[in-house]
Structure 1
Amino acid sequence: MEDTNDHVLIQSNVEIHNKPYILTLTRTHLSWEPTSIESGRSSTRSEPLAKQNVHVQDLREVIGVHPVKPPSKPSRGFKKIYNTKHDSHLFIELQSIGPLAFAVCMVTNTSKPRWRCKTINFLCTDTLLCQHWIDKIKEVLAIPAFNRPRRLLVFINPLAGNKKAEKIYREKVQPFFEIAEIHVDVIVTERANHARDTVQSGYDLRTVDGLVCIGGDGIFTELLNGLLTRTASETGIEQTPEHVLMSPDLRIGIIPAGSTDCIVYTTTGVADPTTSALHIIIGDSIGIDVCSVYHGDIFQRYCVSMLGYGYFGDLLKESENNRWMGKLRYDWSGLKKIFANRAYEGEISFRVSPDSKSTPTDGVRCFTGCSVCKVAGERKIQGNLQNRTDASALSTITQEDSVHSSSDEWQTIRGRFCSITCLTLSCACSLSDKGLAPNCHLGDGCSDLILVRECSRFNFFHFLLSTNKPELNQFDLDFVEVYRVKEFRFQPIGTEESDSETTGNKKSHHKKLKLQRNSMWNCDGEILENPVVNARVHHQLVRLFARGRPNLECRNQSQSCCAACEKEEM
């Protein structure tokens, strides 16, 4: 923010907890400092602000302002301001005219993952001044530079969070939206893909500033797929591997109410409904990579966390047959698949970007203000500006035009694999704080491709255990390989890619046996039955109401988001 814009908009005497203060509002901050009523002057300003007893509140972290009831009795300082000896009649009369006090609700602990709020009441000298303060603060918070949402479309999955998603919204989210004066349109989903279908074609998205989902990772992927499909349709871009997709204008907010909530955990550092609601209110914005998945040229789905074959695909398939077990079905299914210890033969080809200056094993984590994502985001913005100069040719920009692939080289690996996993984020959660890919970045335009070759049950269990233990490194295991890729293709060996019909019972039965030797893909919790896929990473394709995980080991963190910060300098 620019200091030139930090001029005083309003300043007056107020009281906080019956003590006199000078309250000052600028375009960027709200500050208050003790003053002496007797002298009528504030403390000297010859020293720097940081050395005085002054509290400075960044307006970016103010939730809202509203009138409140003043104290039942005015303080001694209040009577001196009015120069009155009788504190009853005038005070009651002023109360009846309008508000004498207002409350400012603000975010606390922004350097930590879990955010909370505090409220400070300010008592003014008259009702007109009080209302002027309220109006002025609201006016400043509404300026475009803060990029705050005013209208939201909210989807609630009533089955999420042990069927407590609606209660979570009413008790932990809605009150803050009301303080921030955000208008919401709430839709409680009634079936699978209800949110996707509504966003894709059944709602006028021009009337809202963002989308919010309350539930687990599943309802978020519904919103993501619906929004990206609609954006592609409205911009006339085909969903094929040869085309570059346009980023939607709307941001997505996630209120966690699921079992793992890895997406919100990775982008905020905690799965906490209040924290996520506050990120939405103050207008945080972060760009994240999205992986598009195809079978040949046929689009399948968009993926933002995990695209897994082998163990994770088998686990999901098994768990779908045991939904009656609730959350325990994942532990039970995982244990069964570890003992089954199946490996699948295939060929995987992938392209590593020469732009990437980071590797999956360099130990560089993605935190708030991540330099890797910031540089990549700036490069994306420059590319978008160049591409938008010729909007008519935008839909025909190919992958080779956008990512310097003339110098990229494809690598191919054949073998038997227990697991093949492509991750566009670390997949950290409360059960595994570092995640499957600890050094994966939110917005660098790459995915981490993890290959676990055929190994014993004990070794594979050791691999899974090391993803949950901070002192262990899963990439030190000799049967595990990891690559940072832009795209990849997978073809099971010995499986026909053609869908041509077979004749004769013997030939049909033989082909069925072949297909049974393959696994299926786990695409963000959805099963893709066909094992032949090709996937590609789209750089910071969507924006979330978040700012990345805070680095608890770093005291001086940047307030910008992990990607190129969308907030304008004020």
Structure 2
Amino acid sequence: MIKREDENYSVHLTYLFEAVKQKRPRSLLVIVNPYGGKKAALRIWRKHVAPIFSLARIFFEVCGKNILTYNCLLVLFSSHPVTEYSGHAKDIVYKSNLKNYDGLVCIGGDGTFNEVLDAVISVDSDICLSPLPGGSTNCLAYTTCGVATPVTSALHIVLGNHRPLDCAQVFNQGALVKHVVTMMSYGFLGDVMRTSEKYRWMGPSRYDYAGFQRVMTPEFYYGRISFKRAVPLNDSETDREGWTHVEGEHLCVNIAVCRCQCAKCPGGMAPQNKLDDGIADLILVGKCSRTAYIHHLLKLSDINEDHFNFKFVKHERITELKYNALGDTSSCWNIDGELLFTSNLHLIMKKKLIEIFAPPYIQ
């Protein structure tokens, strides 16, 4: 929260706002999910974000309710409408006239942003979005802003910093079912997410606990993966239409749409990835021992290590992918931290599909 006695900070910020006032957003729709991560989204909004918006004299409406103000006192002492049920964020988007706003701010985790994104695209809006960190991993905020802190994201919003962002569209039997902005994963990370649902009362620690359980009892899934490389190659696995086919057992099938950086993976799941080049990274983890996979996971946490440098790991840069489960058992997909209980999917990358509030200099 900006303290009153810090007059110099306020004065400098006011001058800065005046310098860029032509480009800054004037009105925002704010969606707060109080249930994600450590359940701190409402506190983040009240303590860190609302005071900055108020100082910038930005009108904001919270969760579709009639709190349209830039008066910080009203924010601090009024009751705060928040999302109340699964799918509420989508309903807010559907019921709102997005043309009345210069931006839509999602205070929550990656799953909250994904839910809002699906709704915004379905109503054919080009409104600028902001993934303001208030969840467990906050992967998108970390990747696009370089750090997952609410104040940093809020300042980029009030300054009007924005940039294009790639998305992936996911289809099942020809029907569009989901959009992806961070990562979708089948196998290990899907199993971890599914197992963690039993322990929601543990908060973010449930992912570590579920991850430990799944590492101790790894499961391999047999399937066929077909993909198109960003740069086509002539090899025995590639057909005339440019599809490369891989069939076999895998512990994990990961598709990273962005670098997927977070506190536990500061270098990112896909360090080479760029935010707006229309290319995703396919990371296949084949059959391996438990010890070898743990070694692979540990390298993810070290920015100086190469987690692709294993014989059982295959890395490709792709623009399109199809997955078909062929085994007797199946996993589920973990898409931006949300579960999708469908094995067979078709993913297509879409270059610069949306605009988000974030520094344009981060690639």
269, 290, 293: which one pairs with 2:170? Answer: 293
Asked if residue 142 in structure 1 is aligned to residue 36 in structure 2, the reply is no
8 Å Cα contact 1:443-1:562 kept in structure 2: no
Query: Which residue is equivalent to 1:182?
Result: 58
SS in 2 for 1:219: helix
8 Å Cα contact 2:145-2:362 kept in structure 1: no
Query: Which residue is equivalent to 1:90?
Result: none
CA distance in 2, matches of 1:158, 1:346: 38
Identity of aligned residues (%): 36
Quote the offset at 1:265 in angstroms.
0.3
Asked if residue 342 in structure 1 is aligned to residue 213 in structure 2, the reply is no
Asked if residue 221 in structure 1 is aligned to residue 94 in structure 2, the reply is no
Quote the offset at 1:470 in angstroms.
2.3
Amino acid at match of 2:330: N
235, 239, 254: which one pairs with 2:131? Answer: 254
61, 83, 105: which one pairs with 2:12? Answer: 105
CA distance in 1, matches of 2:20, 2:207: 45
323, 339, 342: which one pairs with 1:527? Answer: 339
Q: Do the aligned partners of residues 174 and 407 (structure 1) sit closer, same or farther apart at CA in structure 2, a change above 3 Å counting?
A: farther
Quote the offset at 1:102 in angstroms.
12
Quote the offset at 1:465 in angstroms.
1.1
CA offsets, 1:145-169, max 9 Å, x none?
x2x1100000111223533322211
SS in 2 for 1:160: coil
208, 229, 249: which one pairs with 2:101? Answer: 208
Q: Do the aligned partners of residues 459 and 205 (structure 1) sit closer, same or farther apart at CA in structure 2, a change above 3 Å counting?
A: same
Quote the offset at 1:523 in angstroms.
1.1
Extract unaligned runs of 5+ from structure 1. 1-67, 71-100, 107-118, 121-133, 232-247, 357-405, 495-513, 548-559, 564-570
CA distance in 2, matches of 1:273, 1:562: 17
488, 504, 507: which one pairs with 2:321? Answer: 488
Query: Which residue is equivalent to 2:262?
Result: 429
CA distance in 2, matches of 1:471, 1:203: 46
CA distance in 2, matches of 1:103, 1:542: 32
Amino acid at match of 2:286: R
Query: Which residue is equivalent to 2:70?
Result: none
Amino acid at match of 1:251: C
CA distance in 2, matches of 1:219, 1:102: 32
Q: RMSD of the TM alignment (CA)?
A: 2.5
Asked if residue 173 in structure 1 is aligned to residue 67 in structure 2, the reply is no
Quote the offset at 1:260 in angstroms.
1.2
Quote the offset at 1:222 in angstroms.
1.2
Across the two proteins, how many residue pairs are aligned to each other?
Answer: 335
Query: Which residue is equivalent to 1:317?
Result: 194
Amino acid at match of 2:103: G
Asked if residue 419 in structure 1 is aligned to residue 252 in structure 2, the reply is yes
Asked if residue 163 in structure 1 is aligned to residue 57 in structure 2, the reply is no
CA distance in 2, matches of 1:161, 1:319: 13
8 Å Cα contact 1:284-1:561 kept in structure 2: no
SS in 2 for 1:104: helix
181, 190, 193: which one pairs with 2:87? Answer: 193
SS in 2 for 1:250: coil
CA offsets, 1:315-341, max 9 Å, x none?
111111221222221111111111112
- Look at both structures and tell me which one has the larger radius of gyration over its CA atoms: 1
Q: Do the aligned partners of residues 310 and 423 (structure 1) sit closer, same or farther apart at CA in structure 2, a change above 3 Å counting?
A: same
Query: Which residue is equivalent to 1:446?
Result: 279
Amino acid at match of 2:280: S
- After TM superposition, the structure 1 = structure 2 runs for residues 446-485 of structure 1, keeping only pairs within 5 Å, are 446-485=279-318
Amino acid at match of 2:176: F
CA distance in 1, matches of 2:256, 2:156: 24
SS in 1 for 2:261: coil
CA distance in 1, matches of 2:156, 2:272: 24
CA distance in 2, matches of 1:471, 1:142: 41
Q: Do the aligned partners of residues 160 and 520 (structure 1) sit closer, same or farther apart at CA in structure 2, a change above 3 Å counting?
A: closer
SS in 2 for 1:444: coil
Amino acid at match of 2:356: L
Quote the offset at 1:355 in angstroms.
8.6
Amino acid at match of 2:300: T
Amino acid at match of 1:528: L
Q: Do the aligned partners of residues 252 and 407 (structure 1) sit closer, same or farther apart at CA in structure 2, a change above 3 Å counting?
A: farther
Amino acid at match of 1:249: D
8 Å Cα contact 1:152-1:211 kept in structure 2: yes
Amino acid at match of 1:196: K
CA distance in 2, matches of 1:328, 1:309: 21
Extract unaligned runs of 5+ from structure 2. 64-81, 234-238
CA distance in 1, matches of 2:116, 2:198: 25
Q: Do the aligned partners of residues 415 and 102 (structure 1) sit closer, same or farther apart at CA in structure 2, a change above 3 Å counting?
A: closer
CA distance in 2, matches of 1:284, 1:342: 44
CA offsets, 1:511-560, max 9 Å, x none?
xxx3xx1111111122111211111111011111001xxxxxxxxxxxx5
8 Å Cα contact 2:232-2:242 kept in structure 1: no
- After TM superposition, the structure 1 = structure 2 runs for residues 50-129 of structure 1, keeping only pairs within 5 Å, are 104-106=11-13
CA distance in 1, matches of 2:225, 2:30: 40
CA distance in 2, matches of 1:523, 1:259: 15
140, 152, 156: which one pairs with 1:275? Answer: 152
Q: Do the aligned partners of residues 141 and 213 (structure 1) sit closer, same or farther apart at CA in structure 2, a change above 3 Å counting?
A: same
Quote the offset at 1:273 in angstroms.
0.9
CA distance in 1, matches of 2:33, 2:118: 16
Quote the offset at 1:173 in angstroms.
1.1
8 Å Cα contact 2:38-2:204 kept in structure 1: no
- After TM superposition, the structure 1 = structure 2 runs for residues 233-252 of structure 1, keeping only pairs within 5 Å, are 248-252=125-129
SS in 2 for 1:476: coil
Structure 1 residue runs of 4+, over 6 Å off? Answer: none
Looking at both structures, which has the greater relative contact order when contacts are Cα pairs under 8 Å and sequence separation is at least 6?
Answer: 2
